[in-house]
Amino acid sequence: MTFMQNTRRFALAAVVLAAIIGAPQTLADGITDIGFVDQQALGAVPAFQNAQKQLALFDRDLQKQLQGRAKSARSQADQQALQREYQTKMLARRNALFGPLFGKAQTAIASIASSKNLSVVVDRRIVIVGGQDITRNVLDLMTGVGDPVPPVSTPAPSAVGFVDQSLINQLPSVVAAEKQLDQYTRDQQKIAQDKLKTAKTDADKQTIARDYQKSLDAKQNDLVKPLVDKTRDVIADVAKKKNLVLVIDRSNLVYGGTDITTDVTQQLK
Amino acid sequence: MVVGLAIGLAAGLPGCTRSATSAVSPSATASVNPSFARVGYVRMEDLIKKHPLYGQLAHYDETIEALSLRTALGSNGPALPAAELAKEDRALQAALDEARARTTKLLNEKQKEYGKRENDAIAAALRTAGIPMGPGTNAIAGSVNAVAQQQRAQAVSSAQSDFNAYRATLIKQDDAAMQAAQKAATARADRSYRAKADELQAKEQQLAFELATKDSSDRLSLRTRLSNLALEDGAREEARAKLAAIDRAEADQLAAARNRDQQTLANLRASLKAKIASDVALDAKRVHAESVAKLKSRGASIQAQFSGAAAPVVAQALPNGTVSVPAGVSPALKARLEDLHKAYQVQFTADAKRTIADFKKTNDDLTKRFNTIHGVDQNAERDARAHIAELQKQRDDLYRQMVAQIGREVRVVAQNRGVTTVINDTVAPANGVDLTADAQKDIESLHE
């Protein structure tokens, strides 16, 4: 598991925690309550590094063990079963190693956010100006003696909204467009490969490659752009109705915020 | 595709700019909530496109895309087109099948030949011992000898034919291997050259950017003075001259850097050309030496196989491989006949092993040759992927620099507008302040 995957899970888990603690009831007038954390710095905590090393060792041993069995797995079904076994075992090990660490980090972030009256905490990468950096406080809690204590209060209502684009991408219209584009890409790739076989010069090959890319870009524009435009308009509409100042993607959210995904998907259906 | 949608939302497509503008006009934000004016956002992808180094970034993106595309489509992959490779594979398989059939036939013929020799030796031994043989034995022996010679000639001809086919295939594979090696060497040199050219271009752009940044305050000050209508002619002329001097100094420094880079590239091109020639010559020498050694070894093996096989043969070996010994022979003669039988069995087994080993060698050599060709292709693809990764790293470094520069400009804009918090990755316009347009103006001034 890469570090980015860790941090993404970390963000996701924080959102789940926020949802458990309770959704905001009303939106506050004051909006200086935006905090941020450097998730990369949190990932550098020794406990995370140790877990990462242990997972790498487990991965190496598991691969060695399965490679021996893969030699005798002749059918495609046998190989797929091995692949599934590998993924299941890795996931279980990952959860066992990182689950408690994510939990501790989530509690630490919630605790600091509550003590500083922050309604939302985002990833540092998206903040250009302002916001309260709570990375140091969270690190202190995570590396200190004893476990951080969960906050008593729920997050304050936030004027920063978020959407889960992975859920929007599961809408039938998006899935259908994706399938169409995949099929089109495969067809065009085959055509381009056939042309390349008869191409005599590098210039010919470059022309074929350029034409191939152009055709994909055009098709993507036809299929995806209308969906992107419509989705953006709906998000903007919902944001205005809910008096939100910003709407970010869930992957950039660490804590709090106002989830408008359901409102958006319902309008898009 | 899914990623495309997500990126599209984050990047700010032109179709959505209208609603963004309407959402963030000062009156709109003020009417909704006064405190909204303290939180703003920028569309980073729009700002990136206005940055002085965007041309370089776009160049990286285009190069990476082109390389990825060529790798994906296979133009940088197999040295031979897929159909030709498949054809070569089929030809190899056919040649091996034929060689296998000939080997089987040759082994059958050898078995008959050694059986005949053995019976002839036994007959001679019996004659010497004065034991009578059947009528017409001599006549039969003469006829069988003639047939055996004919069979031997056929076996030699068959072996020669195998050898010729082997040589032709070897030459063909050598040609393909050399073409692949030449192509791989050229592609490697091409990538090295492109990487250096990209690096130098990036440095030139960086220099241009740094010069422009260094002089931007002087330039702005001079332009401000020039925009003053009440400025006296003398002072105006002086300001113009200073502005021209700044432009000239920057242009001179850039031209000097470009000249140095051109010379560097010319030297690199010459050294890469020499290296290609040297690499290809080495490959050619190695491939040629290997092929000659293989042909010599194969030829020697065939010669050894047939050089001592001119002895006459007589009759077919008995099906059960035992010796047909007439009744009443002495124990000494019987032992002599059994020794003869064993000797011919050993000779036949050794000869058969050589034939089988030759066939196996042919099989191994041709398979290895094909593997070598495919291996060259895999190396070329691996090189291409490494080059893409290196370009991607350079591109990401440049992007980070640009974002940092834009961040500094946005900070100034936010301060001027009284905005305390700015986010750079929103998915849609909302009630916050859109600082993109103001930031764009500042970034564009970096070009001047």
pLDDT tens for each residue of chain B, 448 residues long:
333 344 333 333 333 332 322 222 333 333 334 455 688 999 999 999 988 888 888 888 888 887 777 676 654 344 455 556 556 666 766 776 777 777 777 877 877 788 788 788 877 887 787 765 544 444 444 444 555 566 666 676 777 777 777 777 877 887 788 888 888 888 888 888 888 888 888 888 888 888 878 887 888 888 778 877 787 888 888 988 998 898 888 889 888 998 999 899 988 988 888 888 888 888 878 877 787 787 777 777 766 666 544 443 333 333 344 445 556 667 787 778 778 777 877 787 778 778 777 777 776 666 665 555 554 455 666 777 888 888 898 889 889 888 888 988 898 889 888 898 999 888 888 888 999 999 998 888 766 5
Phi and psi torsions of B99, nearest 5°: -60, -35
The tens digit of pLDDT for each residue in A44-92 reads: 999 999 999 999 999 999 988 888 787 777 777 887 888 899 999 999 9
What digits encode the pLDDT tens for the residues A229-254? Answer: 999 999 999 999 999 999 999 999 99
Burial class from Cβ neighbours inside 10 Å (0-12, 13-18, 19+) for residue B419 reads buried
Q: How far is B301 from chain A (nearest CA, A)?
A: 37
- Contact B427/A32, CB-based, under 8 Å? no
Helices and strands (DSSP H and E) totals, chain B: 10, 4
Question: Closest Cα partner for B423 from A108, A259, A31?
Answer: A31
Q: Which of A32, A165, A248 lies at the smallest CB-CB distance from B38?
A: A32
Distance to chain A for B321, nearest Cα, Å: 42
How buried is B130 (Cβ within 10 angstroms: 0-12 exposed, 13-18 middle, 19+ buried)? exposed
- Cα–Cα dist B281/B178, whole Å: 10
Q: Is A211 on the interface with B (CB under 8 A)?
A: no
CA nearest to B102, candidates B178, B48, B156: B156
Contact across the interface for B6 and A169, Cβ inside 8 Å: yes
A197, A228, A236 member nearest B83 (Cβ): A197
Distance between CA atoms of B95 and B83, rounded to whole angstroms?
18
Residue A118 CB-half CA count within 13 A: 24
Residue A120 host element (H or E): strand A120-123
Q: What is the DSSP letter of B16?
A: G
Q: How many CA atoms lie within 13 A of A240 on its CB side?
A: 15
The terminus-to-terminus CA distance of chain A in angstroms comes to 35
Find all residues with CB under 8 Å of B379, minimum gap 6, and list them.
Answer: B184
| Token pair in block for residue A263 | 């409102």
* Closest residue by Cα to residue B309 from B354, B359, B347: B347
Q: Which of A128, A183, A196 would you mutate first to test chain B, the one with the most B CBs within 10 A? A: A128
How far is B340 from B317, CA to CA, in rounded Å? 13
- For residue A159, the tally of other CB atoms under 10 A from its CB is 29
Taking the C-alpha atoms of residue B255 and residue B55, their distance in angstroms, rounded to an integer, is 19
A204 touches chain B (CB under 8 A): no
pTM as predicted: 0.54
Q: How many angstroms away from the CA of B421 is the closest CA of chain A?
A: 4
Q: Give the DSSP per-residue string, B342-362.
A: HHHHHHHHHHHHHHHHHHHHH
Distance CA B60, CA B202 (A): 10
Identify the pLDDT of residue B377: 56
The identity of residue B189, as a single letter, is A
- CA closest to A35 among chain B residues: B421
B396-429 pLDDT, tens digit per residue, is 988 988 888 898 889 888 988 889 899 988 888 8
Q: Could you tell me the two tokens for B1?
A: 């595709």
Q: Which residue is associated with the tokens 């990952």?
A: A94
The DSSP code for A247 is E
Buried b (16+ CB within 10 A) or exposed e, B48-66: bebbbbbebbebbeebbee
Mutate to test the interface with A, among B18, B182, B411, B427 (most CBs of A within 10 A): B427
**Interchain contact, A205 vs B5, CB within 8 Å:** no
Q: What is the pLDDT of residue B20?
A: 29
**How many angstroms separate the CA atoms of A121 and A14, rounded?**
10
Query: Of all residues in chain B, what percent carry a pLDDT higher than 90?
Result: 5
Helix (H) or strand (E) holding B430: none
Instruction: For chain A, give the mean pLDDT.
Output: 84
Q: Is B258 exposed, middle or buried (0-12, 13-18, 19+ CB in 10 A)?
A: middle
Q: Say which DSSP state A251 is in.
A: G
What pLDDT is attached to residue A231? Answer: 94
Cβ contact B198:B60 at 8 Å: yes
Cβ atoms within 10 Å of B203's Cβ, excluding its own: 13
- pLDDT at site A257: 92
List the one residue out of B177, B87, B74 whose CA is nearest residue A196: B74
| Burial tier of B370 (Cβ tally within 10 Å: 0-12, 13-18, 19+) | middle
**pLDDT value at residue A236:** 94
